Amino acid sequence: DSGVTQTPKHLITATGQRVTLRCSPRSGDLSVYWYQQSLDQGLQFLIQYYNGEERAKGNILERFSAQQFPDLHSELNLSSLELGDSALYFCASSVASRQYNEQFFGPGTRLTVL
Amino acid sequence: AQSVAQPEDQVNVAEGNPLTVKCTYSVSGNPYLFWYVQYPNRGLQFLLKYITGDNLVKGSYGFEAEFNKSQTSFHLKKPSALVSDSALYFCAVREPQTGANNLFFGTGTRLTVIP
Protein backbone atom coordinates (compact mmCIF):
# COMPACT_ATOMS: atom_id res chain seq x y z
CA ASP A 1 0.00 0.00 0.00
CA SER A 2 1.57 3.25 -1.18
CA GLY A 3 -0.50 5.49 1.08
CA VAL A 4 -2.07 7.25 -1.91
CA THR A 5 -5.83 6.76 -2.13
CA GLN A 6 -8.06 7.25 -5.12
CA THR A 7 -11.83 7.19 -5.41
CA PRO A 8 -13.81 5.79 -7.02
CA LYS A 9 -12.14 2.56 -8.11
CA HIS A 10 -14.42 2.17 -11.08
CA LEU A 11 -16.57 4.63 -12.97
CA ILE A 12 -18.90 3.86 -15.84
CA THR A 13 -20.54 6.75 -17.63
CA ALA A 14 -21.85 7.85 -21.00
CA THR A 15 -20.37 10.04 -23.70
CA GLY A 16 -20.86 13.74 -23.12
CA GLN A 17 -20.95 13.39 -19.36
CA ARG A 18 -18.66 14.90 -16.73
CA VAL A 19 -16.90 13.03 -13.92
CA THR A 20 -14.63 13.89 -11.02
CA LEU A 21 -11.81 11.68 -9.83
CA ARG A 22 -10.41 12.21 -6.37
CA CYS A 23 -6.95 11.62 -4.96
CA SER A 24 -5.51 11.89 -1.46
CA PRO A 25 -1.71 11.96 -1.39
CA ARG A 26 0.50 10.27 1.16
CA SER A 27 0.67 12.05 4.47
CA GLY A 28 3.22 14.84 4.19
CA ASP A 29 3.46 14.81 0.39
CA LEU A 30 2.93 18.21 -1.18
CA SER A 31 3.15 17.26 -4.85
CA VAL A 32 0.40 15.46 -6.76
CA TYR A 33 0.61 14.15 -10.31
CA TRP A 34 -2.09 12.75 -12.59
CA TYR A 35 -1.37 10.14 -15.25
CA GLN A 36 -3.54 8.39 -17.81
CA GLN A 37 -2.89 4.77 -18.78
CA SER A 38 -4.48 3.44 -21.94
CA LEU A 39 -3.66 0.56 -24.25
CA ASP A 40 -2.81 2.76 -27.22
CA GLN A 41 -1.09 5.67 -25.46
CA GLY A 42 0.60 3.89 -22.59
CA LEU A 43 1.26 5.89 -19.42
CA GLN A 44 1.02 9.60 -20.06
CA PHE A 45 1.57 12.50 -17.68
CA LEU A 46 -1.36 14.87 -17.47
CA ILE A 47 -0.70 17.51 -14.83
CA GLN A 48 1.17 18.25 -11.60
CA TYR A 49 0.24 20.34 -8.58
CA TYR A 50 2.52 21.39 -5.78
CA ASN A 51 1.09 22.76 -2.55
CA GLY A 52 -2.03 24.00 -4.29
CA GLU A 53 -0.36 25.51 -7.34
CA GLU A 54 -0.22 24.08 -10.83
CA ARG A 55 3.42 23.18 -11.50
CA ALA A 56 3.52 21.37 -14.84
CA LYS A 57 1.23 20.34 -17.66
CA GLY A 58 1.58 17.39 -19.94
CA ASN A 59 -0.74 15.93 -22.52
CA ILE A 60 -3.89 17.12 -20.82
CA LEU A 61 -6.89 17.88 -23.00
CA GLU A 62 -8.72 21.18 -22.63
CA ARG A 63 -11.80 19.18 -21.58
CA PHE A 64 -9.84 18.02 -18.53
CA SER A 65 -8.94 20.14 -15.54
CA ALA A 66 -7.58 19.58 -12.07
CA GLN A 67 -7.04 21.33 -8.80
CA GLN A 68 -5.36 20.76 -5.47
CA PHE A 69 -7.14 21.87 -2.35
CA PRO A 70 -5.73 23.36 0.90
CA ASP A 71 -5.84 19.92 2.56
CA LEU A 72 -3.66 18.75 -0.41
CA HIS A 73 -6.17 16.34 -1.90
CA SER A 74 -6.63 16.71 -5.63
CA GLU A 75 -9.45 16.28 -8.08
CA LEU A 76 -9.31 15.60 -11.80
CA ASN A 77 -12.36 16.75 -13.71
CA LEU A 78 -13.13 15.20 -17.07
CA SER A 79 -15.92 16.73 -19.14
CA SER A 80 -17.63 16.15 -22.48
CA LEU A 81 -16.41 12.60 -22.24
CA GLU A 82 -15.62 10.62 -25.36
CA LEU A 83 -15.16 6.90 -25.89
CA GLY A 84 -11.41 7.45 -26.19
CA ASP A 85 -11.24 8.81 -22.65
CA SER A 86 -11.78 5.30 -21.32
CA ALA A 87 -8.59 4.53 -19.42
CA LEU A 88 -7.01 3.97 -16.06
CA TYR A 89 -6.27 7.26 -14.30
CA PHE A 90 -3.52 7.28 -11.71
CA CYS A 91 -2.67 9.81 -9.11
CA ALA A 92 0.84 9.88 -7.67
CA SER A 93 2.42 11.94 -4.94
CA SER A 94 5.90 12.89 -3.80
CA VAL A 95 7.20 14.66 -0.76
CA ALA A 96 8.44 17.66 -2.72
CA SER A 97 8.89 18.74 -6.27
CA ARG A 98 12.51 17.71 -6.61
CA GLN A 99 13.31 15.78 -9.73
CA TYR A 100 15.06 13.04 -7.82
CA ASN A 101 12.02 12.35 -5.66
CA GLU A 102 10.31 9.10 -6.52
CA GLN A 103 6.57 9.20 -6.96
CA PHE A 104 4.17 6.92 -5.15
CA PHE A 105 1.13 5.81 -7.10
CA GLY A 106 -2.43 5.19 -6.03
CA PRO A 107 -4.42 2.15 -7.18
CA GLY A 108 -6.07 4.09 -9.99
CA THR A 109 -9.59 4.83 -11.16
CA ARG A 110 -10.80 2.83 -14.11
CA LEU A 111 -13.04 5.00 -16.27
CA THR A 112 -15.29 3.39 -18.85
CA VAL A 113 -17.15 5.67 -21.25
CA LEU A 114 -20.01 3.98 -23.08
CA ALA B 1 13.21 15.48 -26.13
CA GLN B 2 13.39 12.70 -23.63
CA SER B 3 12.35 9.17 -24.49
CA VAL B 4 12.50 5.70 -23.05
CA ALA B 5 12.48 2.41 -24.96
CA GLN B 6 11.66 -0.99 -23.60
CA PRO B 7 12.45 -3.16 -26.59
CA GLU B 8 10.74 -6.29 -25.32
CA ASP B 9 6.98 -6.40 -24.83
CA GLN B 10 7.24 -9.80 -23.15
CA VAL B 11 9.98 -11.61 -21.25
CA ASN B 12 9.62 -15.21 -20.12
CA VAL B 13 12.01 -16.76 -17.64
CA ALA B 14 12.04 -19.97 -15.63
CA GLU B 15 11.73 -19.74 -11.87
CA GLY B 16 15.15 -19.62 -10.25
CA ASN B 17 16.88 -18.29 -13.35
CA PRO B 18 18.29 -14.78 -13.58
CA LEU B 19 16.09 -12.20 -15.25
CA THR B 20 16.80 -9.04 -17.20
CA VAL B 21 14.30 -6.44 -18.36
CA LYS B 22 15.85 -3.99 -20.79
CA CYS B 23 15.54 -0.22 -20.92
CA THR B 24 17.32 2.38 -23.01
CA TYR B 25 16.83 6.10 -22.80
CA SER B 26 17.46 9.29 -24.69
CA VAL B 27 17.83 12.58 -22.85
CA SER B 28 19.89 15.71 -22.98
CA GLY B 29 22.48 15.57 -20.25
CA ASN B 30 22.38 13.26 -17.28
CA PRO B 31 19.13 11.40 -16.66
CA TYR B 32 17.27 10.44 -13.56
CA LEU B 33 16.04 6.88 -14.10
CA PHE B 34 13.38 4.86 -12.34
CA TRP B 35 11.86 1.38 -12.42
CA TYR B 36 8.29 0.67 -11.42
CA VAL B 37 6.29 -2.57 -11.29
CA GLN B 38 2.56 -2.92 -11.85
CA TYR B 39 0.67 -5.96 -10.60
CA PRO B 40 -2.79 -6.76 -12.01
CA ASN B 41 -5.43 -4.28 -10.88
CA ARG B 42 -2.89 -2.36 -8.83
CA GLY B 43 -1.07 0.91 -9.09
CA LEU B 44 2.60 1.25 -9.92
CA GLN B 45 5.07 0.39 -7.20
CA PHE B 46 8.46 2.06 -7.03
CA LEU B 47 11.38 -0.41 -7.27
CA LEU B 48 14.54 1.67 -7.55
CA LYS B 49 16.10 4.79 -9.00
CA TYR B 50 19.39 6.08 -10.32
CA ILE B 51 20.24 9.69 -9.65
CA THR B 52 24.02 9.78 -9.45
CA GLY B 53 26.92 7.81 -8.03
CA ASP B 54 27.34 4.04 -8.16
CA ASN B 55 26.16 2.63 -11.47
CA LEU B 56 24.68 -0.45 -9.77
CA VAL B 57 21.53 0.43 -7.90
CA LYS B 58 19.82 -1.96 -5.50
CA GLY B 59 16.10 -1.79 -4.92
CA SER B 60 13.10 -3.56 -3.48
CA TYR B 61 12.37 -7.32 -3.64
CA GLY B 62 15.95 -8.21 -4.63
CA PHE B 63 15.92 -6.21 -7.85
CA GLU B 64 18.86 -4.19 -9.05
CA ALA B 65 19.63 -2.10 -12.11
CA GLU B 66 22.80 -1.07 -13.84
CA PHE B 67 23.21 2.37 -15.31
CA ASN B 68 25.39 2.35 -18.41
CA LYS B 69 26.00 5.84 -19.72
CA SER B 70 27.88 4.80 -22.87
CA GLN B 71 25.08 2.48 -23.90
CA THR B 72 22.35 4.77 -22.52
CA SER B 73 20.82 1.79 -20.79
CA PHE B 74 19.31 1.03 -17.40
CA HIS B 75 18.48 -2.68 -17.41
CA LEU B 76 16.61 -4.22 -14.50
CA LYS B 77 18.00 -7.47 -13.13
CA LYS B 78 17.39 -10.10 -10.50
CA PRO B 79 19.67 -13.08 -9.82
CA SER B 80 16.88 -15.60 -9.20
CA ALA B 81 13.34 -15.06 -10.49
CA LEU B 82 10.25 -15.90 -8.45
CA VAL B 83 6.80 -16.71 -9.81
CA SER B 84 5.55 -13.75 -7.79
CA ASP B 85 7.77 -11.44 -9.88
CA SER B 86 5.38 -11.92 -12.81
CA ALA B 87 4.05 -8.44 -13.54
CA LEU B 88 4.32 -5.44 -15.85
CA TYR B 89 7.54 -3.47 -15.49
CA PHE B 90 8.00 0.16 -16.48
CA CYS B 91 11.18 2.11 -16.95
CA ALA B 92 10.85 5.88 -16.55
CA VAL B 93 13.11 8.89 -16.98
CA ARG B 94 13.28 12.51 -15.96
CA GLU B 95 15.39 15.02 -17.81
CA PRO B 96 16.78 17.38 -15.16
CA GLN B 97 17.90 20.02 -17.63
CA THR B 98 14.36 20.73 -18.77
CA GLY B 99 13.20 21.37 -15.23
CA ALA B 100 10.30 19.02 -15.85
CA ASN B 101 9.34 16.97 -12.85
CA ASN B 102 7.01 14.45 -14.40
CA LEU B 103 8.05 10.93 -15.25
CA PHE B 104 8.26 9.85 -18.89
CA PHE B 105 7.46 6.14 -19.10
CA GLY B 106 8.40 3.37 -21.47
CA THR B 107 5.72 1.14 -22.93
CA GLY B 108 6.24 -1.56 -20.35
CA THR B 109 7.54 -5.14 -20.40
CA ARG B 110 5.40 -8.01 -19.23
CA LEU B 111 7.50 -10.47 -17.25
CA THR B 112 6.26 -14.01 -16.86
CA VAL B 113 8.13 -16.35 -14.54
CA ILE B 114 7.38 -19.96 -15.36
CA PRO B 115 7.28 -22.42 -12.46
Question: Is B23 an interface residue toward A (CB < 8 Å)?
Answer: no
- The residue-averaged pLDDT of B78-93 equals 96
pLDDT in tens, A75-108: 999 999 999 999 999 999 998 767 678 899 999 9
pLDDT in tens, A24-47: 999 999 999 999 999 888 899 999
Which helix H or strand E contains B92, and what residues bound it?
Answer: strand B87-94
Report how far residue B8's alpha carbon sits from residue B69's, in angstroms, rounded to the nearest whole number: 20
B102 and A90 within 8 Å at the Cβ level: the answer is: no
In this complex, which of A42, A55, A104 lies closest to B46 when CB atoms are compared? Answer: A104
**A33 and A47 in contact (C-beta within 8 Å)?**
yes
B102 and A4 within 8 Å at the Cβ level: the answer is: no
- The residue-averaged pLDDT of B51-64 equals 93
A2 and B90 within 8 Å at the Cβ level: the answer is: no
Report how far residue A40's alpha carbon sits from residue A47's, in angstroms, rounded to the nearest whole number: 19
Task: Give bridge partners of residue A17 from the DSSP assignment.
Answer: none
More confident position, B42 or B66: B66
A99 and B42 within 8 Å at the Cβ level: the answer is: no
